[in-house]
Amino acid sequence: MKATIQHNNTIFTIDFSNPIDISIPLTNTDANPIAWYIDKPVIEPVKMGDWVGKVSEGSSTNFNNIFFNPHGHGTHTECLGHITKEFYSINQALKQFFFLAEVVSITPEVQGEDLVITRSQVEKALAGKSPEAIVIRTLPNEAIKKSKNYSNTNPPYLEEAAAAYIRECGIKHLLIDLPSVDKEKDEGKLVAHKAFWNVKDVNSLNTDARHDATITEMIYVNDTVADGSYLLNLQIASFENDASPSKPVLYKL
């Protein structure tokens, strides 16, 4: 199915029959990516006495419990409630689901023992564009991203100035193929999160914060997806929580 949309006096044609899923599936195997020092997800049938919720064991249905952490077990979308004393829900923050997005590929710079995505790199990659969403693919784009245990590996991260620049561009939705936009061990400073959401004090109401802005982490953008402009469909489950597992899908324009 094809459709046309108009944005800023430009008309785009979209083929909805060719979605590009950039989420990572959640599984209960060692193929599931992990971050933040937790174990893999658990997916198992309900057991009540002799009854097991599994068709292969005599039940009429498969009836599984799932135990997972959205931040540590795969693709997830979070709101500013991730870092504030006050409770904010991703289900309340994200009320629109289609956005014009720019896919950019960046090789993080070596800074001491760290790999860092800098403001100048983001500025160069955007080349003056101010999309509603930015999708950052880090290079090299290794397939291990889809199953890596990131704990204690000091992954690349976004410098504070880069996150601030993305906010200054008016970009509301930041998607990245890393477990966090911040350094793994940063003493809880979370400077990139704060800069993107414009959070100055995690203990206040943050009336100037960007309540409708989101960060999506642990995506995977295949090498077959070229840098450039896309329509993004950002799908979440309706969790009243600071984050939800999510399924971002791109469509060529």
Condensed to tens digits (0 to 9), the pLDDT of residues 179-229 reads: 999 999 999 999 999 999 999 887 776 779 999 999 999 999 999 999 999
**Residue 45 in domain:** no
Measure Cα distances from 72 to 6, 37, 110, 175, 239 in Å.
37, 8, 25, 16, 16
Look at residue 128 and tell me whether its pLDDT is greater than 80.
yes
The predicted structure's pLDDT at residue 1:
79
Given a contact cutoff of 8 angstroms between Cβ atoms, the answer to whether 52 and 44 are in contact is: no
Range of the domain at 78: 2-26+70-252
**Residue 50 in domain:** no
Instruction: Report d(CA 227, CA 223) in Å as an integer.
Output: 9
The predicted structure's pLDDT at residue 98:
96
Scan for tokens 């469909």, then name that residue: 233
**Residue 84 in domain:** yes
How many domains does the structure of the chain reveal? 1
- Residue 140, preceding peptide bond in cis (omega within 30° of 0): yes
Pairing of strands 214-217, 173-176: parallel
Residue 197: CATH number of its domain? 3.50.30.50
**Residue 32 in domain:** no
**Residue 35 in domain:** no
User: pLDDT tens across 56-91, in order?
Assistant: 999 999 999 999 999 999 999 999 999 999 999 999
**Residue 149 in domain:** yes
Average pLDDT of the residues of the chain: 96
Q: Which helix (H) or strand (E) holds 119?
A: helix 119-126
**Residue 77 in domain:** yes
**Residue 192 in domain:** yes
